Amino acid sequence: MSGTVRRVVCPGSFDPVTNGHLDVFTRAARLFDEVRVAVLVNPDKRGLFPIEERIELIRMAVEGLDNVVVEAFGGLLVDYCRQHEVPVVLKGLRVAADFDYEQQMAGMNRHLTGVETLFLPTDPALSHISSSLVKVIASHGGDVSGLVPAHVGARLRQRLRDS
């Protein structure tokens, strides 16, 4: 493996990025030479934050992790992997139900192109955090500190206030 850059991609919608996501990115950055955080562009779904803002929020959150690249992608993840020569997808798993869904996706990705998927169990202290729950809590005026980076919490409150 000498001379080979070990790359991994962490795909997702990250609407918004949470401390659970950041834990996965940080741990991946210690294990791989390059971590690509790929923010899914799904024209059929309208997120709370536009793609460009999600990317900005993630970039701010991973500042200091020099081997992390954040960008948008559309279409099939395996095509993204092929285009960027990424042989491994890294998925954080919060609960057992995540594994059932992700295992099926992993099998399909391997079948289509040989891309392997690694599962990284979420830190138990963060396993209760999901982007969906963070948005619900914030929309009812709840405190999301400790669930998302401070700059994400501030932007979330502002976005919900303006909408």
* Annotated binding-site residue? 126: yes
Catalytic: which of 27, 59, 84, 94? 94
Task: List the catalytic residue out of 7, 54, 131, 155.
Answer: 131
Residue 94 annotated as catalytic: yes
Q: Cα–Cα distance between 105 and 110 in angstroms, integer?
A: 9
Catalytic residue (choose from 45, 46, 140, 161): 45
Q: Is residue 135 among the annotated active site residues?
A: no
Exposed / middle / buried, residue 21 (Cβ in 10 Å: 0-12, 13-18, 19+): buried
The verdict on whether residue 21 carries a ligand-binding annotation is yes
User: Is 140 an active-site residue?
Assistant: no
111 assigned binding-site residue: no
- 129 in a labelled binding site: yes
Active site residue 45: yes
Please report, in range form, the residues annotated as the binding site for substrate.
13, 45, 77, 91
Residues annotated as catalytic (active site), given as ranges: 21, 45, 94, 131
